[in-house]
Structure 1
Amino acid sequence: MAYYRKCIETVIEQLNKFKPEKDSPEQFLEAASAALQTLSPQKQAFILEVLSGCLEYRKLLAVVVDAFYVRAGRLCPRADYNLFEVICYLATFQLEELGFQLFCDIVRAQPVDKMHKFLGFFFNPLNLCSWIKDEWSLIYETAHVRENWIDPLMRWQPEVQELIHQLEEVMAIQPPLSKSKAKVTEPKEFNLTVPRPRAIPVPEPVPVVAKSKPIPRSTYQPPKERQLLEMTKRFNRWKAEELLLKANIEEMRCAVPRSRAEPLMQASKKKLQLQFMPRILKTPKLTFYKPNEVPVKLNTAAILREGSLYQRQVEKELQRVDKLVDGAGDFSEFLEWQKEMQAKDREEELAASACRRLQGKLSREEAILARQHLTQENKQKADQKKEEMAELKQQCAERRLQEERSMKELVEQVTEVQKNVKLAQMKLLKGRRQIVQEVIEESRELLQRTTQAAKEEQKERCELVSQLRALETQPVRKGKLVDLTQIPGYGLEGEMSVVELRERLALLKETQRREEEEKRDQIIQGKRARSQELQNMVEQISLCRAAMGRSAALRWEEKKARSAAPGTPSRDERVLELQRKIQEKVAERRRTQAAPKPVSAPGPARPKPWTKQTDLERIAGLALGVESENEPGELPGGLAGAAGLQEDLKILEIYLAVNCYASQRMSNQRM
């Protein structure tokens, strides 16, 4: 039994090495026979025969074993897959040659429970005569399967059933395996090397240094010369900006034209007069010209979109006029109601803005009170911190004294230990020197060996180079000349020479170029027509824009006039409540600040610093017509008087002309 067990184990081991994706059966069998040369000839022949049979009928055996794992052997491990294949092969193909007694010995040599399950599944008559026969018939012919494999297996049914019964008795006799508890791993400490105690250095004596002079304050303060330079830079910059502004505002004297006939004496007199003129001159009024509107280039989609928008507006206006002509009602009552509602909304907005402003004041007063409370709390906390810091300093001083005492004791102990360390260091140095000499000798021997190996490799390389050069010097045959005008003569339809093919390709390119030019001309003509249409539409859009802009300007003037009218003071409950709260907070803040404080003597009023922005704002105000302190009484910019009414009438005339043109165009389209 042990003999057959070893044979079956070797077969299973070889089958585990076989990979059908990479290995071929013939090469695998040759490699296996070479590996089994050490075994006896009888054992080697048996193993190779079973191994070759399992590889040859692998598909048939896989059908049975796969079905066994799915149906009966779900709990069996996958590692026994090749064991079941070998038993299936012996039962199907080698049972008559081996004999039933030898087959029983092989089966008994394997695990009893596994063999009982597999043989009971495989030799079941229902399985053999039904699906096993059908599956094998898909691979081989049905008659061959029935005569050579199924019928012999059915003849061996009584003996095999008796063998299965014996295996079942053996399983019943064997005691069940006691489930012993698995040993728990006991953790052990790591066998680590104990670190050496760190050597404590001997403290060096603290040298007594003479008391140094304190650092002068001038090192941390910038020098006065730098401050003076910065002040002069600022003054010079301010002076230059003032001169630049004066030159820009006043007219240059060199730009005044002078007649050629004027004598030089008069010019010299004028120069003298200009020199003695007073410094304060009346600056002439500046004239500012509004820049023209920058034209915006629109794309095609924007032009068409805007044109359709204006067209829809014109259609709506025409529909409204038609309804009025037919007798539709007027919207005067609705407009009056709308104005009343808008006035109410404005009053609510004014009340809301007043509430927001008062809420801001209230939050400011609350913030001032909170800041005062916070400063008082911070003072109390600072006093507590100072007391705690004093206690901590005293504790630190005591700890330093204790540490100094312990350090002195350690220094005395270390000095005693260092006396014995010097002898050990001398011995260690001697041992290290001997080791270094041995290593040097070994390295010399290795260098000699490597040099010899390098010389041999160099000789081999030289020989290979000489062989390659000899091969390069051999004559090379020249290639065959090609005639481009010759037809190959392969017998294909439309066969031609290379020259003819090139000519035909050139003609084809010429025709393609002509077609492209014709298409390009057509596209250019279409684009020109499209651009003309867009240009006409842009002209219409510009007219409509002018009319709409004028109407918007009129509406804005009306809104500005309404907003300039004085409004009635709001008496909203929210506003009154917020004012009352603000008065209470102000009174509370004044009570907290009742303690008198030392007031410094008032100094002379500093002049307001000059900035370039103030002059620019003044100039911009003059340009826009805004009232200022220097020039009161100027009118604000905008429309005023009869000139504004005339411009309004012109815009209305343009708008009516556009409407008439649009209505004519729509009537033409309907026709």
Structure 2
Amino acid sequence: MAYYGKCIETVIEQLNKFKPEKDIPEQFLEAASTSLQTLSPQKQAFILEVLSGCLEYRKLLAVVVDAFYVRAGWLCRRADYNLFEVICYLATFQLDELGFQLFSDIIRSQPLDKMCKFLGFLFNPLSLCSWIKDEWSLIYETAHVSENWIDPLMRWQPEVQELIKQLEKVMTNQSPLPKTKAKVTEPKEFNLTVPRPRAIPVPEPVPVMTKPKPIPRSTYHPPKEQEQLEMTRRYNRWKAEELLLKVNIEEMRCAVPRSRGTTLVQGSEKKLQLRFMPRILKTPKLTFYKPNNVPVKLNTAAILREGSLYQRQVEKELQRVDKLVDGAGDFSEFLEWQKKMQAKDQEEALAAGECRRLQGKLSREEAILARQLLRQGNKQKADQKKEETAELMQQCAERRLQEERSIKELVEQVIEVQKNVKVAQMKLLKGRRQIVQEVIEESRELLQRTAEAAKEEQKRRCELIAQHRALETQPMRKGKLVDLTQIPGYGLEGEMSVVELRERLALLKETQQRKEEEKRDQIIQAKRARSQGLQNMVEQISLCRAAMGRSAALRWEQKKAQSAAPGPPSQDQRVLELRRRIEESAAERRKQAASGPISAPRAPRPKPRAQLESRHWVELQQSRERRLRALQRSCVDA
């Protein structure tokens, strides 16, 4: 048993080293074979065979072991994952070759409680025939799984169950660890010496604080330069708003008709004047006029974009006229041919859409037939499942009776074991006393060392405090005189005093202010020229819009007159064939329903659902037909 236990331990160590993200199985097996050369040939062959099998069937083994941790092995450690993989491989793939006796020796060499749990989970007939078979069939073929792996495991079922019972008996016969009562500590009074009364300490002298400097005025009052900048900013803003007011008034006069534009301009002038006038001079009554055709206000980008668009259209029209004058041909014949081809394409698209709709309806009829057949098969499967569950419930009842008998035997054994507890308690008390004496001696030595280290630290701190106090008693020079007119004399180029530096900064500010005023004047002149150009462009845009609106109205009237006549229905062979097939499938479905009505497991819902589905399909067909007629009309008009 120790021989096989060591072999299994070496296999688990090698599996712990394997990393599927980095290592390749072939190279890993070669490295493992080189590291195992010191062992005997039999051990080496057994270990390499088990290791290669675990790596090859890693997915199959992972299915069982992961399910074991989820369902039965909550208390098992994750470090035993590879142990369970090895046991699963030996039971599934090597049990016929090893033999049951050798397999039971390997199981007894491992922890018995873990092996009982895992073998009971693996050789459960319910799990083998249901979910284990289904999961393994997803990786390999179902016939191969059932013949080579599931059937052998089911054959070894009685022997393995007998082995599990033997292991449980061995576990119950093992004497559990005796429970020892902890020794209760008895409190004792401390033998303390009476402390001496403390002497009253001499009060330390109160330090005299120096008088603080007063808070400067600049902390709570802003400087004069900031107020001057705010005044100039407000004045410039007022000037710019006044200029924009004039430009907006001129634009409104150009854009709005004269009959109502004058009243709007006057009203806007009054509003803007009231905005800049003080609140005391309010006008008593204001009259507002709401014109019918309110012009849309465009920004600069929109005006330029629309103006360039109309300019390009005018240029294209002029080029077309020049080509016609030079003798170029007209595109009327090509446009007529293009309309005919578009009408033909639309008819084909309508026929294809109708075919898709009818195909969907046909697939629905076929699905209803398939659903009826599926219900019959499900009913037969449900009857078989009920019979299987009845047999399993009977087996569970027998197993519970066996477990109750084993629990009674275990209780009797525990009562016998508790009689021999006192001897073990005396031995444990002697061992604890010796440990307590050793701990007390070690704690005394540690306390002595810490006391000596604290004394040395205290001496070092006292010396540092004395040095700091000696440095504080030395006199310090306070204050420094500064002359703003004096040059520092560091020997740098362009060196000057603080007064000269301030004068130069003032001159620079004056020149910068002069440049800003000149630049502001240039910007205002450029804005005026730009606004004049935009006004001219707005007038051109209004003219172009009126012409485009008239042409669009004419086109709409022509299109409306053409869409009045209905178009002929489509007679496509594919559509007729699909309708015939739908009628045949509907007749077959009604015949199937009349011959053998099958009640679904949930009875009250199929009828309203079928009515809703039929209504939905009728509405969908009507909407498709309306859309088809509209498209045919548009094709005829084109």
Q: TM-score, normalised by structure 1?
A: 0.43
Q: TM-score, normalised by structure 2?
A: 0.45
Which one scores higher on RCO, CA 8 angstroms, separation ≥ 6?
Answer: 2
Higher CA-based Rg:
1
